[in-house]
Amino acid sequence: MSDFKVGDRVVVAHDGLRNYGNCGKVTVPRHGLSGEYVAVLLDGEGEETIYLPAELKLIESFDAARDEARERFNDVSLAASIDQLETDPVALPPHYRHLPVECIDITEHFNFCMGNALKYIWRADHKGNPIQDLKKAAWYIEREVARREKESA
C-alpha cells in the first residue's frame, strides 16, 4: 500500500500528466483490482482525479510545495500562487492551519452551533484572544444544549 493518507497534501509530480505541478488533497488511497491508486481533489477543481502513487509527491508544507514548484518544475507562477494561497486570510487563515487537517474539513460535518464551537476551540491559542474564543465556543455549546433540550421536551 502507498504511504498516502486521506487529507495528505500532494503535488502531481509526473511531467507527462496534464495536471503536472498542481497541488491537491488525497481523498482516497486504495488498492483496487488493477493495482494501487490515489484519488486526489486538486485545488480549485470540483472532481477527484485518479493517480498512480508514483505520479504524486507528498507535500510536507507550503514551503515544500513552493520550493518544488520553483526548483523541480521551474514554474515561478505556480510558486507565486502557492505564496499567495499561503498568506490568503480568506482561503487559508493561519489560525486554522496549525494541525495536519484544516478546521473546515471537520466542522462542515456538524450543525452550525457545534461547528462554530469547534472552530473557536480550534483557533483559541492561535488567534488574538483565547479566553474570548473559548467563551464563544461555550456560548455555542450552551445554545446547542438548549436547542436539544427543547427538542426532547
Terminal Cα distance for the chain, rounded:
50
Amino acid identity at 108: E
Distance of CA 95 to the CA centre of its chain: 13
Report the alpha-carbon distance of residue 105 to residue 113 in Å, rounded. Answer: 16
Amino acid identity at 118: L
The set of cell numbers assigned to 101 is 487537517
Q: Which helix (H) or strand (E) holds 115?
A: helix 112-123
Residue 2: CB atoms within 10 A of its CB come to 17
Cα distances (Å, whole numbers) of residue 22 to 7, 9, 10, 77: 16, 11, 8, 12
pLDDT of residue 13: 75
- Residues 48-106 pLDDT 10s: 888 888 888 877 655 555 555 555 555 555 555 555 555 555 555 565 555 556 777 78
- Residues 6-33 pLDDT 10s: 888 887 777 666 677 777 888 877 766 5
